[in-house]
Structure formats: structure tokens, C-alpha cells
Amino acid sequence: MTTTSEIVTSPAQPLRVISTSFFFRIIEISDTQLVSPNDTAHFVCSADANPITAETIKWKRDGFKFDEAGRVIVNYSNSTRTSYLQIRRVTAEDAGAFECVVDNGVTDDDMTVIKNVTFLLVRTKPKIDASPAYAKAASDKGKAATLKCRAKGAPAAEFKWHRNGDVITAESDGGNKYEIESTMIVR
């Protein structure tokens, strides 16, 4: 919040102090959206700011084409102080972070800008990485071997390991033979 005070005086009027607050904050931003290809994604960002106009709340993302007529629509409601982002006919390339930026424009420094991020995930079938680093594994006889599997998809892929048609779990063979570890990487 930025607060300013000003002393106003004139020969005909007594001294008076004017104090104005330029308070602003993001009240609400949409949770991560998971949509299927060709569906529509809806995002909202509501702010409390003084002053506030349609220019106060903006959506940003590097490389994203917000100007695609008919496919990407941004609307602002003055009564709810909310900016709405709608992306029609979603594609896998649309997936990523969208930033809601609130700038009350009172000064040119970063102290008058607040940002928050939400994400668009587009449903995709898991695709297993078949590169050489993941296609083969080896170890010396009697030594531990590490088998790796990497897949990309949304929502996050679930992995199951099989050997000779049977599912392998960390508890298989009394829990002494297998260790299974999963790591999710968000990009």
C-alpha cells in the first residue's frame, strides 16, 4: 500500500491535510485448469485496488498470442473488479503458466505491481521416453540395477512395473528386493 500526505493551504483558508491511500491486492485467482484438447479454459483474477480500471488487471505469458481473435478472449467487469481470460479450442501448446498482473499505475516502480500465477494443463496421453538412457539398464551379477522410466502427460502419469506378467511393488518378495521411487517434474 502506498500512502501520501499533502498539506494544502492558501491565504484565505486554514491549513488542512489530505491523505490518500493507494491500496491494491489480488483477491482471487483461478486454480489450475485441466482441460481436454479443443475444450475451453476459463480463468478469473479479481483485485481490490484504488484506482481500478480495465487496465489495472492484465494477463501475461511470454510467447502466448493473446490477440488471437475469437480464440482468446479477455473481458473485464468493473462491478466485480475481475478480469476473465477464456481460451477456446485449447491445444497442447497452450499448456503452461498464466500470470495475473495488477498494476494500479500510481508510480512507475515495481512497488505498484502485484503478480500471481495459475496454470493451464491440457490432457494428453502419457508418452514414454524411449531414448537410450531409459531403454536399457545393466549391472554386474548379484549387484543392484536401476531401471528408469520417464513419461510425459497430463494429468501426471502413474507408473506400474511388471516382471513376467506380475506387478512389482516395493513389498514384492518380502520388501527386500525392490525399491520403487517416483518423481514428478513440472515444466
Domain that holds residue 171: 125-175
Give 110's pLDDT tier (boundaries 50, 70, 90).
Answer: low
- In-domain check, residue 105: yes
Tell me which DSSP letter residue 65 carries: -
- In-domain check, residue 96: yes
- Which residues are CB-contacts of 175 (< 8 A; sequence separation ≥ 6)? none
Is 98 found in the same domain as 134? no
- In-domain check, residue 134: yes
Whether pLDDT at 25 is above 50: yes
Residue-wise pLDDT for 148-164, tens only, equals: 888 888 888 888 888 88
Q: Which pLDDT belongs to residue 72?
A: 96
- In-domain check, residue 50: yes
Is 170 found in the same domain as 136? yes
Is 90 found in the same domain as 31? yes
Whether pLDDT at 29 is above 80: yes
- Which residues are CB-contacts of 108 (< 8 A; sequence separation ≥ 6)? none
Whether pLDDT at 19 is above 80: no
Residue-wise pLDDT for 37-57, tens only, equals: 999 999 999 998 777 888 889
- In-domain check, residue 145: yes
Higher pLDDT, 138 or 84: 84
Is 163 found in the same domain as 142? yes
- In-domain check, residue 69: yes
Tell me which DSSP letter residue 186 carries: -
Is this prediction's pTM over 0.85? no
What mean pLDDT comes out for the span 116-140? 89
Please choose, from the candidates 85, 87, 84, the residue with its C-alpha nearest in 3D space to the C-alpha of residue 38.
87
Q: Within 10 A of 103 (CB to CB), how many other CB atoms are there? A: 19
Q: Which pLDDT belongs to residue 1?
A: 39
- In-domain check, residue 130: yes
- In-domain check, residue 41: yes
Whether pLDDT at 18 is above 50: no
Number of domains in the chain: 2
| DSSP string across 17-33 | EEEEEE-EEEEEEPPPE
